[in-house]
Amino acid sequence: MEFEIENFRLEPLGEGRFIRPYLAHYRQNGEERSWEILKAGDSVAILLWHRERERFVMVRQFRPPVYLHNGDGMTVELCAGLLDKGGFSPETVAVEEVEEECGYRIAESDLQKITSFYTSVGFAGSRQILYYAELTGAMRVGSGGGLREDGEQIEVLEYSREEVRSLMADETVARTPGLLYALCWWFEKYGKK
């Protein structure tokens, strides 16, 4: 899947759909301080392993903030989504994202929680809940990927164990810390079998 980016520019953001910029003021050890903060939503991410094909299922997509740093903007990520869907549990959002992004229908009971952690702690401090799920061909209900209503253009990727080990060390590919942590977890738990 090709991504063509043109006329990329930055402009001040007063208030966004998914983030809100703030200047926090506080007293620390008796001294007045301030800090620039982006209030951003929490999220879920799911490490997917296809049992029959023995492959990891991930997504590739364009991320404008990464584009600012590497001129490419393409990332390899876990299937993920924001917890912005009004009152739905993280597990419900995870199930929905797996189907929308990757084309597999899983149940909440298929999810195994790995951990949760905070991301972008220097300016956002959003929490991400990390899950693991195994897939089979019978769970396939669509192709996944494509251009979503929210403008995300997603490509579904599959990696073997060997390919993902190379991906973990390849600094030329933009990868998220959650992806790297999840893969380390998987290799520790399942990779020795």
Predicted local distance difference test score (pLDDT) of residue 142: 93
CB 59 within 8 A of CB 148: no
| Tens-digit pLDDT profile for residues 121-156 | 888 889 999 999 999 999 999 999 877 676 678 999
Cα distance between residue 107 and residue 179, in whole Å: 22
- pTM of the predicted model as reported, rounded to 2 decimal places: 0.90
Q: Which long-range contacts (CB under 8 A, 24 or more apart) does 110-114 make?
A: 110/134, 111/46, 114/47, 114/181, 114/182, 114/185
Q: What is the mean pLDDT of residues 32-37?
A: 87
Residue at 70: amino acid letter: N
What sign does the CA torsion over 175, 189, 53, 112 have?
Answer: negative
**Residue linked to tokens 């993902």:** 164
Distances (CA, A) of 131 to 5, 13, 49, 128: 32, 32, 11, 10
Cα distance between residue 86 and residue 127, in whole Å: 17
Q: Is the pLDDT of residue 2 over 90?
A: no
**Residue 19's pLDDT band (boundaries 50, 70, 90)?**
confident
Segment (H or E) for 189? helix 177-189
What phi and psi values does residue 124 have, to the nearest 5 degrees? -125, -50
